[in-house]
Structure 1
Amino acid sequence: MQAIQAYDYSILFNEMGYEKLNILIEENQYSNIFVLVDSNTNEHCLMRFLSFLATDKTIEIIEIEAGESEKNISTCVEIWTILTELGGDRKTVLVNLGGGVITDLGGFAASTFKRGIDFINIPTTLLAMVDASIGGKNGVDLGNLKNQIGVIKNPKMVLIDSEYLSTLPQNEMRSGLAEMLKHGLIADQMYWSQFKDLTQLDFADFDALIHRSIEIKNEIVMQDPTENGIRKALNFGHTLGHAIESYFIDNEDKKTLLHGEAIAVGMILESYISWQKRLLSETEYSEIKNTIKAVFDPVPFEENDLSPILDLLIHDKKNEYGKIQFALLDGIGKIKINQTADNELIIKSFTDYKT
């Protein structure tokens, strides 16, 4: 599969990716190699990765527990400490083998250790393949607030190996599918159309769908690496989605949502706001709502959930001058950034979601 050239690194696929990885390690003459995994990728993915690695460099494995709760500064301190104790230096490379938590956290730890060491992302979940590992955003959560602390720094390369998906539970596959749906909605109507009826989707061509999703994200990031303009398009569904995700993480009476599950709700809500602001037709809105609801189970909201979710919007890192910023659809396949919506309209979007 054709490599994708990002800003200053390559996104490579399957066996060819491992060949290029070994060349990269040799050319850069790294002093040692650290591999960051969680308990799941240690069990299901690490042996496959090591079987392709051809090097005589020292390899050290750093394992953390799986889950969003590990994506915090305390875990970073543990990683920095292990790197230090095991002889990590400026010529060390960190390989992040895992889902979005591992690539976000590992990228941040590498970017700040000794003022920055090289890192390589090998995403093992669909969500990380099409979103988290691409674009150079690295960071950790602050309490229940998503991605509040972080940096933008690119990996040396990203390696996409779809074989890792064979170990993934169905709910994790759906979580990644949410970001693929988003890419179609914001940038490619034809791509979106391929997902309108999943019974007709040929999963034999899933590699090609992943490739196109990464292409869309990369094309947007290349235009605006530091998110001052069009890269904000990628936030569609995330303004409300992140607030919902944070609220459910912090509320023990609620079932914690996967990232994609929260973003799926956010896309429906923000599509409703797009329709009410006359950017989207009612027909388009109904198509989006019905397509997403056919994939994702409904998330229950009570009346008393809305106020704390609205309060969390204030902390969204996309906000400017105290105003909540939305990226809204301007028809399917197009986007309008820097849009606002009042609380009354946001509450109406929740009311409509429940119908």
Structure 2
Amino acid sequence: MESITTTSYAVHFNDKAFFELKKYLTLNSYSKVFVLVDENTKVHCLPVFEELMADALSFELITIQAGEENKNIEACNKVWLALSEMDADRKSLMINLGGGVVTDLGGFVASTYKRGIDFINIPTTLLSMVDASVGGKTGVDLGSLKNQIGVINQPKMVLVASMFLNTLEDRQMHSGFAEMLKHGLIKDASYWKELKAMDSFEDIDDHILTSVSIKNEVVLQDPTEQHLRKILNFGHTLGHAVESYFLENNEKETLLHGEAIAIGMVLEGYLSHQLTGLSLSELEDIKSTFLSRYPKVAFTDEDIKTILSMLKFDKKNSHGNINFVLLKTIGEPVIDVKIPNDLYTAAFAYYKD
């Protein structure tokens, strides 16, 4: 698979990935290398990484707790302290080996430690491969509010090795697949149809490449999310609010990111039908596709009220306005759409119907 070049780094795939990492380490004289993992990747992915990099890399290991609930400033503080205690200087390198929590948090820690050290991301989940691999977004949650603290800073390279997907349960694969379906909805109707037809994840490599290419094409045109890059947030305005609500509510089962975003895309698909011209047949296509792959979640009126109250924290908001990305048709998004208040409850009613 050919590497993908971004504005400042390359995404390398499978066997080429670790060849390029070894070459990079040979050409760059780092004082120390640190590998950040969580409890899961320490068990399932670190041994594979160590075998692939045998005799090519000496490193110090830092481990954080797994799970979105640990993607916070307290975890950052522990990693900063670990770096300091192990004498990390400004010529150190951090390699983030894990899913989105590890790459987001690790990238933020590296970007801020001693005003910034180099980092490399090795995403190990489908979600992080097709989402966090491109764009340079780093950061952590503020309480249950998603990604409120962070910076945009680019890694030195990203390595996507699909062998790590063998460590994932089916639910995690479906979570990442929701972001891939989103890429079709916002950019390529034929890709949407292609993904819908998949009944297994056996031949996912080429689709990973397509998704990374789609996101890279968008980010190259708008690296700091002033205009076009906002389209990547389709399904995320309501989806993030749903995810945050289930994350902070101990009585609810926590939703994975893709599961929440799948709900968000159905809800925002309904808003698109009402406001930006998405046809009823396309809306029904979106709804049936997501409900066939992701279990329907029950929402009480109180749940919906609390979820809607969280919309004011969305990062795309400006001047007190909640800005949505909606669809004119599948493959053609519209940004910065304002929503009449009465449509929110109607969208949830459509999802629950």
TM-score normalised to structure 2 length:
0.98
In the alignment, is residue 319 of structure 1 matched against residue 328 of structure 2?
Answer: no
Tell me what 2:97 maps to: 97
Once the two structures are TM-superposed, the CA of residue 52 in structure 1 deviates from its matched residue by: 1.8
Deviations 1:168-213 (A, max 9, x none): 01110000000000000000111100122333x6x44310001000
SS at match of 2:119: strand
Once the two structures are TM-superposed, the CA of residue 57 in structure 1 deviates from its matched residue by: 5.4
Quick one: distance in 1 between partners of 2:146 and 2:132? 13
Quick one: distance in 2 between partners of 1:95 and 1:270? 36
Deviations 1:233-270 (A, max 9, x none): 00000000000000111111211100000000000000
**Map 1:111-126 → 2, pairs under 5 A:** 111-126=111-126
Tell me what 1:44 maps to: 44
Once the two structures are TM-superposed, the CA of residue 352 in structure 1 deviates from its matched residue by: 0.4
Quick one: distance in 2 between partners of 1:79 and 1:265? 33
Quick one: distance in 2 between partners of 1:104 and 1:64? 13
Tell me what 1:176 maps to: 176
Aligned-pair RMSD on alpha carbons?
Answer: 1.1
**Map 1:76-91 → 2, pairs under 5 A:** 76-91=76-91
Quick one: distance in 2 between partners of 1:136 and 1:292? 28
Single out whichever of 127-136 and 257-266 deviates more from structure 2. 127-136
Deviations 1:114-158 (A, max 9, x none): 100000000000000000232100000000100000000000000
Tell me what 1:270 maps to: 268
Quick one: distance in 2 between partners of 1:105 and 1:268? 29
Amino acid aligned to 2:301: E
Once the two structures are TM-superposed, the CA of residue 101 in structure 1 deviates from its matched residue by: 0.2
In the alignment, is residue 353 of structure 1 matched against residue 344 of structure 2?
Answer: no
In the alignment, is residue 252 of structure 1 matched against residue 241 of structure 2?
Answer: no
Amino acid aligned to 2:316: K
Tell me what 1:167 maps to: 167
Tell me what 1:215 maps to: 213
Tell me what 2:230 maps to: 232
Quick one: distance in 2 between partners of 1:306 and 1:56? 52
SS at match of 1:175: helix
Quick one: distance in 2 between partners of 1:313 and 1:94? 34
8 Å contact from structure 1 (residues 22, 55) kept in 2: no
8 Å contact from structure 1 (residues 197, 291) kept in 2: no
Quick one: distance in 2 between partners of 1:302 and 1:204? 37
SS at match of 2:196: coil
Once the two structures are TM-superposed, the CA of residue 293 in structure 1 deviates from its matched residue by: 0.8
Single out whichever of 129-138 and 151-160 deviates more from structure 2. 129-138
Once the two structures are TM-superposed, the CA of residue 279 in structure 1 deviates from its matched residue by: 2.0
Once the two structures are TM-superposed, the CA of residue 58 in structure 1 deviates from its matched residue by: 3.8
8 Å contact from structure 1 (residues 107, 155) kept in 2: yes
Unaligned runs of 5+ in 2: none
Tell me what 1:35 maps to: 35
**Map 1:323-342 → 2, pairs under 5 A:** 323-342=321-340
Unaligned runs of 5+ in 1: none
Deviations 1:291-320 (A, max 9, x none): 111110001101111111111000111100
In the alignment, is residue 7 of structure 1 matched against residue 20 of structure 2?
Answer: no
TM-score normalised to structure 1 length:
0.98
SS at match of 2:102: helix
Quick one: distance in 1 between partners of 2:260 and 2:16? 34
Query: CA 1:57–1:98 in 2, change beyond 3 Å: closer, same or farther?
Result: closer
8 Å contact from structure 1 (residues 135, 218) kept in 2: yes
8 Å contact from structure 2 (residues 22, 56) kept in 1: no
Deviations 1:17-57 (A, max 9, x none): 10100111121111111000001000000011111225565
Amino acid aligned to 1:16: K
Amino acid aligned to 1:237: G
Once the two structures are TM-superposed, the CA of residue 228 in structure 1 deviates from its matched residue by: 0.3
**Map 1:120-199 → 2, pairs under 5 A:** 120-199=120-199
Quick one: distance in 2 between partners of 1:279 and 1:301? 27
Single out whichever of 124-133 and 48-57 deviates more from structure 2. 48-57
SS at match of 1:210: helix
